[in-house]
Amino acid sequence: MNTYAVINIARIQLGMDEDTIRALYVRVTGANSLRAMSERQRLAVVDELKRQGFKMKKSGKSLPLSTKPYIRLVHALWRSCHRKGVINDGSRSALRTFVRGHSTVDDPDFLTFEEANPIIEALKAMEARA
């Protein structure tokens, strides 16, 4: 979490002017600027802003699940391989790279059943080796 950004977003959301936020900094940490604070002190400021009514919003970057069961299986096998330590990077971009290497499609969400089947079998074999 970028505490500088969170504090500034909270300040705007709560409608605090510069003098009010600096008074809060001094009251909570004893320092009058974010730059003079440690990360732990900035987290204490975030906690105080939450106590005063600041609500953190989710990033909204999560993508919806596919309606195709074989695509969900590809994602589930990829996560399972990552949990078992078969692959180092369990991210979506790493899965895209893996799919790109095994088919002509760039994104697993665009696979047909025929294209997904060899990828599913490869992931099952990788998982079995764990």
- The domains of the chain are located at 3-51, 69-129
pLDDT at 65: 76
Is residue 1 scored above 70 in pLDDT?
no
pLDDT at 45: 95
**Single-letter code of the amino acid located at 127:** E
pLDDT at 129: 87
Structure tokens at 125: 């074999």
Is residue 61 scored above 70 in pLDDT?
no
Q: What share of the chain is helix, strand, coil (3-state, %, to 5)?
A: 65, 0, 35
- Do 7 and 39 form a contact (C-beta atoms < 8 A)? no
Q: What is the mean pLDDT of residues 34-59?
A: 91
Q: Distance between CA 51 and CA 59 in Å, rounded? A: 21
Higher pLDDT pick, 46 / 61: 46
Which tens digits make up the pLDDT trace of 17-46?
Answer: 999 999 999 999 999 999 999 999 999 999
Which tens digits make up the pLDDT trace of 66-113?
Answer: 889 999 999 999 999 998 889 988 888 999 999 999 999 888 999 999
DSSP code at position 84: T
Is residue 126 scored above 70 in pLDDT?
yes
